[in-house]
Amino acid sequence: MVKRIPKRFFDLTSPLYDFIIRDNPTSKIIEVLKLTGQERVLEIGAGTGRSVASVIPLARQVWILDPSQSMLQQAIQKFPSARPVLGYAEELPFDEGFFFDRVIAIDSLHHWDDQLEALKEIKRVLEPKRGFSLIVEFDPSRPLGHYIKSMEKFFRMGSRFFTPLEMRKLHKQANLTIIRQAYVDEGTYLTISTNK
């Protein structure tokens, strides 16, 4: 069953989002993306674009996908060179054979309705030879992740969080090969995978 609760939540909170959430999480992991200026990058759950600020100057082209029109409007005002796409992770609106060199999801996977289906979609659009995905998520077994999980439960957002072990199992089910998993800070970890 499709909940789509986060979309309604983010539609309502989008005017205050950048004021409340001020950090740029991608700045912590930009070196991991290994951008040369030739890559096509897709961010899933881009919101107001705070995560792609560090990516846009280093990539050939950036697509920003989000289900909230109001969040995308804010993102495109800040980053007019990015290509906005209204859509959901489980139903990426890209034709077969249209590939991205990098697919990133920063603090958004826990909002998706069907994480497994979305990872299968990432596999579908990931460039087969050199492409990789980068997912950054909160670990609910650590204090920060537990706090975020509790807050989102309080707001009835319907979020679903995964420990690193659970994330590995999820990627395996989607036939994505994890090449690295590591903590970014005390409660946030990254997962890098390919479709090889």
The per-residue pLDDT for range 128-153, each reduced to its tens digit, is 999 999 999 999 999 999 998 998 88
Strongest mean pLDDT among 21-25, 147-151, 187-191? 187-191
CATH at residue 131 = 3.40.50.150
Query: Mean pLDDT over residues 23-52, rounded?
Result: 87
Q: Residue 11 above 90 pLDDT?
A: no
Mean pLDDT (the chain, rounded): 88
Q: How confident is the model at residue 9 (pLDDT cuts 50, 70, 90)?
A: low
The structural domain count of the chain equals 1
Q: Is residue 32 over pLDDT 90?
A: yes
> At 26, is the pLDDT very low, low, confident or very high (cuts 50, 70, 90)?
low
Model's pTM, two decimal places?
0.88
Q: For residue 178, what are the β-bridge partners? A: 193
Query: Can you list the positions of beta strands (E) in the chain?
Result: 40-44, 61-66, 83-86, 102-106, 132-138, 177-183, 188-194
Q: How confident is the model at residue 12 (pLDDT cuts 50, 70, 90)?
A: very low
Please, are residues 111 and 159 in contact by the beta-carbon 8 Å criterion? yes
Contacts made by residues 72-78, CB under 8 angstroms, sequence distance 24+? 72/46, 74/14, 74/17, 74/18, 74/48, 74/49, 75/46, 75/47, 75/48, 75/49, 76/49, 78/48, 78/49, 78/53
pLDDT recorded at residue 121: 98
Q: Report the pLDDT value the prediction gives residue 22, as an integer from 0 to 100.
A: 46
User: Residues 6 or more apart from 20 whose CB is under 8 A from it?
Assistant: 13
Instruction: Kindly state the percentage of the chain with pLDDT values over 90.
Output: 71
Parent domain of 100: 5-194
> Model confidence over 60-114: pLDDT tens digits?
999 999 998 988 999 999 999 999 999 999 999 999 999 999 999 999 999 999 9
